[in-house]
Chains A and B, each alone.
Chain A
């Protein structure tokens, strides 16, 4: 009906007015995808998990509360749950990056990247679960220490300390392997 149709048109959009979900998809999808990649999932699985994350988020976006967290943090929280569910079903042991070249890569650069990735995967595989998760959030999803603290329940300073220690250790072992 007239007034109500207009109100219907406006009311559900009030929360949406504050969040441009199309822009969120464009900006956040690569971050979520890379979070899964850095967690060690092969590309196809990372795509499936990214899809699952966004489909869940899309259906629940009316319940997103901007006052509680940034939308990127909210999405990563969903993504982490999706990853946990996946881990429960099957624990993958796969390389971070496949050898196949993407559209923008030459076979040479793809091979170089694949080599680096395998090394990084080997290095990170030896890390404790918590450190691997923090690295995926920091370097895969490009999350801030504050967002990581929110997601993991650790203090922000603790996140910074753990990450610093982990990166120093990885850097040292990375350099030991010589130029890549």
Chain B
């Protein structure tokens, strides 16, 4: 029974309608970008929470162990135990993209979202959120002056599966000029499972009165904590090569990428990219654990009369079973953040 008489009446939407609707969708994108860039604390909350989970995604791009023994009986695991900063030039990827590198789709085609990240949900208290996150809440004993608990949220678990496509990795290496990196053929089709645990976020706020012509504002300090994220790697998988490729894409020279990849323990170190322009970082000690303090001063606006954006900061560290971060104002080298982090019990 032919049913072509039913389907042949389909019609193409008018080109002017296509364009008009596409324009409207781009307007939605633009408004969403503005919303994300606005300095509201919870705008940053979800991504930063996801950032811990991002261990996984970042691990794929930037990390992992050097070639080790040939065969292993069990799956390898990457567990975040420490953080290390790597200076990168964010504009480089943009330049590569302008040169024809479709970075997004080259990576996207290899990533399957198994459980999509969801927006953080409000919870009654840090303790209640911790129960749902499967962790014990740790809270600061000391807060910056005039700062109070504002709200608590929980970012649900998410998971991703990466299926390696060596053809796409080779295309990335070629575009990055990293022809010294050989992508092993046996990687093709290998799967990497990334489990992102729930992340508990506690926001503390401080109201700052208007002074000297500067408007009143609210400063936020976000304490984020989650069980240690881990990544299941295929047996004997050499992800140090992937790490080198990520470093090369980020702008490191072949020599620097190689020495960097030899200098760290890829099985447990999560690299935190820090922009070359405006970014600073240093190792710090937090309650006996090695951590990383990153600050960033956004560039001054083009309009001279516009207020200069305030510096932001982030302290990252891990304990035996958790990763923690404190994020907030980064003035004076992030000293308030560090003091708050060091008081957490």
Pick out which of these stretches binds chain A: B6-14, B128-136, B256-264: B6-14
Majority secondary structure, A binding face: helix
What A residues does B108 contact at CB under 8 A?
16-20
Residue A171 at the chain B interface, CB threshold 8 Å: yes
* Cα–Cα distance between A54 and B24 once the two chains are bound (Å): 9
* Cα–Cα distance between A22 and B274 once the two chains are bound (Å): 29
Residue B119 at the chain A interface, CB threshold 8 Å: yes
Q: How far is the CB of B331 from the nearest CB of chain A, in Å?
A: 12
Residue B338 at the chain A interface, CB threshold 8 Å: no
Contact A12 B12 (CB under 8 A): no
Residue A11 at the chain B interface, CB threshold 8 Å: yes
What B residues does A64 contact at CB under 8 A?
116
Whether A12 touches B3, Cβ cut-off 8 Å, given contacts A3-B314, A4-B314, is: no
Contact B314 A51 (CB under 8 A): no
What A residues does B7 contact at CB under 8 A?
139, 142
Partner of A29, one of B3, B13, B44, B85: B13
Pick out which of these stretches binds chain A: B48-56, B66-74, B210-218, B236-244: B48-56
Residue A90 at the chain B interface, CB threshold 8 Å: no
Which residues 11-49 of A sit at the B interface, judged by CB distance below 8 A?
A: 11-20, 25, 29-30, 33-34, 37-38, 43, 47
* Cα–Cα distance between A6 and B58 once the two chains are bound (Å): 10
A residues contacting the other copy or chain, number (CB 8 A): 61
Contact B36 A167 (CB under 8 A): no
Residue A62 at the chain B interface, CB threshold 8 Å: yes
Residue B113 at the chain A interface, CB threshold 8 Å: yes
Contact A2 B21 (CB under 8 A): no
Whether A30 touches B13, Cβ cut-off 8 Å, given contacts A4-B314, A10-B58, is: yes
Whether A14 touches B117, Cβ cut-off 8 Å, given contacts A4-B327, A6-B88, is: yes
Contact B50 A2 (CB under 8 A): no
Residue A86 at the chain B interface, CB threshold 8 Å: no
* Cα–Cα distance between A17 and B47 once the two chains are bound (Å): 15
Closest Cβ neighbor of B2 among chain A residues? A171
Contact B11 A37 (CB under 8 A): yes
Contact B294 A1 (CB under 8 A): yes
Pick out which of these stretches binds chain A: B138-146, B177-185, B226-234, B275-283: B275-283
What B residues does A51 contact at CB under 8 A?
20-21, 24
Residue B333 at the chain A interface, CB threshold 8 Å: no
Residue B75 at the chain A interface, CB threshold 8 Å: no
Cross-chain pairs A/B with CB under 8 angstroms, 30 sampled: A1-B279, A1-B311, A2-B281, A2-B295, A2-B312, A3-B281, A3-B296, A3-B314, A4-B296, A6-B273, A6-B274, A6-B275, A7-B47, A7-B54, A8-B51, A17-B104, A20-B104, A20-B105, A34-B10, A37-B11, A47-B17, A47-B21, A50-B13, A50-B21, A59-B28, A62-B119, A64-B116, A96-B9, A135-B6, A167-B1
